[in-house]
Every structure is written in C-alpha cells, then in structure tokens.
C-alpha cells in the first residue's frame, strides 16, 4: 500500500486527468510522501497523550473513516428513503450521512451526481457542503457545482408525477 497504484502517486498518469493538480508542487509532494503527515501525527499523539492517544487518533480514526466510506456504497443501497426515482437502488440514510459528513444522502447524489451538495433539504445535514461553502467564501474553492433549489423541486415533482 505504500507503493504502487494505491497511493495514486503516478504523476504522469495523473497529469492526463488533472493537470492543474499535478502542477501543484505541494500536492505532488503530498501524494508522493503521503505517509509523512501520518507519521508526524502519530509521533505527536504519542508525545502528547501516550499509547491511548496514538491508538484512538491513528487506528480508531482510520477504522471509522474507512467503514463510513464503505457504508456509503453498501448500506445506502439497502436501507433508507428514496426521494428521487433514480434507475438504481440508492437511498438517503441519515445515520450514514452523519458518519460520512453528508455522503449518506446517496439517493440525492445519484440523482445529481455532479452536485457537490448532497443534503438538499434543510434537515439533511451535509458537513462536507458546509466546508465547501466556507472554502468558497474564503476564495479557496471556485467553479463549485451544486443543485439549485428550482432544479431540486422540479425534479422531485417530475419524479412524483411519474410514480
């Protein structure tokens, strides 16, 4: 896992798909030496809080993060509600959305796959979208695609009429 495709550190291949990212020296360094920040964090946690901080901050965090990510493409295709009549079995699942910072609004994502915003209703907490909006306000993110209010309601209305 430290070498090869799993690290996505093949800059030549990356340049074909994301040339702007591959020109950024910091991102290229981070991709090549992705283990350095993790080792620094692990050392810091060991110094500050000993073995418990190390175990919770490195291994428990990674375990929860990976399971939450995998739940998005497994649980949200079995359990939850369907707002949009997509051609798949995707569902919105609030529990997965909480663990995955909003990715659990998976039926919304399948209905609008290019939208950065997954939580479309006010009660659908989407922490990732809040972060993206903050980055936009700071001028650090541009050209962000999201579904507009009109699109959401027109699409929901169309879906309810066809069902």
Residues that bind Zn ion (CB under 5 A): 90
Residue nearest Zn ion by beta-carbon distance: 90
- Return the number of other C-beta atoms located less than 10 Å from residue 77's C-beta: 16
CB-nearer residue toward Zn ion: 32 or 155: 155
* Residues shown for the chain: 163
CB-nearer residue toward Zn ion: 53 or 94: 94
Check if the beta carbon of residue 46 is closer than 8 Å to that of residue 53: yes
At its nearest, how many Å lie between Zn ion and the CB of residue 79?
13
CB-nearer residue toward Zn ion: 104 or 129: 104
Check if the beta carbon of residue 102 is closer than 8 Å to that of residue 119: yes
- 56's CB contacts (< 8 A; 6+ apart) are none
- Return the number of other C-beta atoms located less than 10 Å from residue 135's C-beta: 13
At its nearest, how many Å lie between Zn ion and the CB of residue 107?
9
Q: How far is the CA of 162 from the CAs of 84, 109, 158, 159, in angstroms? A: 11, 20, 6, 5
At its nearest, how many Å lie between Zn ion and the CB of residue 137?
30
At its nearest, how many Å lie between Zn ion and the CB of residue 9?
27
């Amino acid at each position: 896992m430290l070498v090869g495709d799993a690290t996505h550190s093949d800059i030549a291949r990356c340049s074909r798909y994301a040339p702007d990212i591959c020109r950024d020296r910091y991102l290229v360094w981070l991709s090549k030496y992705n283990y350095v920040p993790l080792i620094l964090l692990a050392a810091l946690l060991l110094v500050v809080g000993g073995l418990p901080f190390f175990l919770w901050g490195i291994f428990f965090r990674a375990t929860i993060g990976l399971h939450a990510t995998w739940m998005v493409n497994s649980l949200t295709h079995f359990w939850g509600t369907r707002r949009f009549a997509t051609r798949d079995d995707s569902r919105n699942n609030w529990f997965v959305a909480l663990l995955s910072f909003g990715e659990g609004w998976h039926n919304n994502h399948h209905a609008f796959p290019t939208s950065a915003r997954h939580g479309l209703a006010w009660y659908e907490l989407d922490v990732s979208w809040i972060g993206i909006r903050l980055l936009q306000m700071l001028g650090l993110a541009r050209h962000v695609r999201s579904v507009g209010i009109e699109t959401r309601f027109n699409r929901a209305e169309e879906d309810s009429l066809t069902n």
